[in-house]
A and B are shown apart, each in its own frame.
Chain A
């Protein structure tokens, strides 16, 4: 079974983020890291591949500047190889443009199953994996809280408003996983060493036969008109509990007439 995992490499979310004042794009400087949301997909893929003889996990990522730091982390967890698409023409791509690139790259890996996260930490459109599925002509099951492969189909518990649905879907398919789906492993020292020599196939959009007008800022066909500081919600009173904390809350609730 060929399992492909989409992994996004993002700026460290702990670092303060900002928008470029002229392009309004997210400022991406410094080393990128593996989006934590994707570590669940990588773990799920490794576990599923481990259950079927002769399986392989391939990572697919689109990132600027030939960035591989995040890919190395996922390779260290146990993935076999990676496809990275990196091209200056991709700057400013939206979800659909990115989906076109990822779909073309994923096709090369001839997947039985494609995993992605429900949404990325920095972009969080949550539409990209489904756009990929449509472009690949595959079914998709989003918001998986459990995933099992049974022969030529995948069985998913999909979160809903009311609880969850048990969904069955023939392979090949795209499945997006939530953070609750599995507990990601930490890369071992051996894994980290092995990752250094695992193959990363770096491609440009012309390798994939994609026209530059389809992607990047031009392909996005959208623009930011302005960025304004939102009306800040100001902090009110802060008191240290000296045994009277509960009474303070009661008084506040009375004042706003909730009780």
Chain B
């Protein structure tokens, strides 16, 4: 089966299309002759240039959602395009909060299964997905056996984003049909957490802390180290759940995927769910007082030691270098 047409769910943030959107468009360009995007928001038209540059010839514009959560209206808009006869072979959806909502709704609305946690997608007779299981020790290759379109939820950093040569995507209005009760949730307020320095998933140095830090106030060591190295501060889920740091810092299966030049894990055991989010880092340094901690199995440099000694000394040494 040739793959003719792929749709990419083009989610945007404060500063235009998300990096993950561009990663998906770039990869889709290499798989199918026609790549189109589906987007929403007050100003899809201004994203059309970037979406086009990365490969989308058309962007279906669901429009402003007026405070509704994206899942129901965006899925309903896509479902009505598909049912109207305009079906792609595959729909690529970013593994984000809203992306997962759209995927779930769309799957039930079209009665099509979803392949989730996809980290690779290739054409080999038909579309084949790759998934990391058991903390990344094994790769599973899977495929759909039923009628399309296939719905794929793809993790960040699975592909590199590279601009192509396309001109601005043509904006085609695709308003959502009435979603009735399913679309009744409304956003009342948005709270944005302050953050300085590079973004966690874009930084070339990431310093992360875990429960081994002992107490919330010791996370300051991680932040200071991150700032001295011009990097970003990350965290294990254990300390996010404990309320030491906001969720936006979490690295791992349910958090962010990071691939920095160097990842410093401080007082993190290295549970499989943490490893899948950082194993792709170019270099890994770990500090843990337990010499058998699983994190050491992926570390290029492992220091068996106490974070309360090693981190302050490291901060001093870096400051001394100026």
Contact = CB atoms under 8 A, between A and B. Distances in A.
Contact of A180 (B116, B128, B185, B247): B247
Contacts of B314: 245-246, 249-250
B312 to A, nearest CB: 8
Given A230-B137, A238-B291, A248-B301, A223 B182 contact: no
Contacts, number: 270
A15 interface: no
A175 to B, nearest CB: 10
A140 B185 CA distance: 7
A179 B229 CA distance: 31
A66 interface: no
A136 to B, nearest CB: 9
B140 A130 contact: no
B104 A127 contact: yes
Interface string B225-258: 0000100000001001101001110000110000
Contacts of B262: 253, 256, 258
Given A239-B303, A246-B310, A248-B301, A225 B104 contact: no
A95 B186 contact: no
A24 to B, nearest CB: 7
Interface string A172-183: 010000111000
A163 B182 contact: no
A161 B15 CA distance: 13
B84 interface: no
Interface residues of B, number: 96
B121 to A, nearest CB: 13
B116 A160 contact: no
Q: Considering residues A135, A230, A250, which has the most beta carbons from chain B within 10 angstroms of its beta carbon? A: A230
Interface size class of A (residues with CB under 8 A): 35 or more
A230 B136 contact: yes
Contacts of A164: 191
A241 B141 contact: no
Nearest to A95: B114
B214 interface: no
A1 interface: no
Interface in B117-161: 117, 128, 132-134, 136-147, 153
B145 A245 contact: no
A39 interface: no
A221 B184 contact: no
A142 B279 CA distance: 27
B229 A249 contact: no
B20 to A, nearest CB: 11
Given A130-B105, A137-B180, A162-B192, A167 B186 contact: yes
A222 B142 CA distance: 7
A129 B104 CA distance: 8
B301 A241 contact: no
The 7 closest A-B pairs by CB, nearest first: A241-B305, A130-B104, A221-B146, A246-B313, A134-B108, A236-B300, A238-B302
Interface of B: 13-14, 69, 71-72, 75, 96-97, 100-101, 103-105, 107-109, 111-117, 128, 132-134, 136-147, 153, 180-193, 204-205, 229, 237, 240-241, 243, 246-248, 253-254, 261-262, 264, 279, 282-285, 287, 291, 296-306, 309-311, 313-314, 316-318, 321
Given A140-B182, A226-B140, A246-B316, 6 more contacts: A94-B113, A127-B153, A161-B13, A163-B248, A179-B237, A240-B304
Interface of A: 17, 19, 24, 94-97, 99, 118-119, 124-131, 133-135, 137-143, 145, 158-170, 173, 178-180, 220-230, 232-233, 235-241, 243, 245-250, 252-253, 256, 258-259
10 contacts: A138-B181, A166-B187, A167-B185, A224-B142, A226-B140, A228-B141, A233-B279, A233-B284, A238-B299, A258-B205
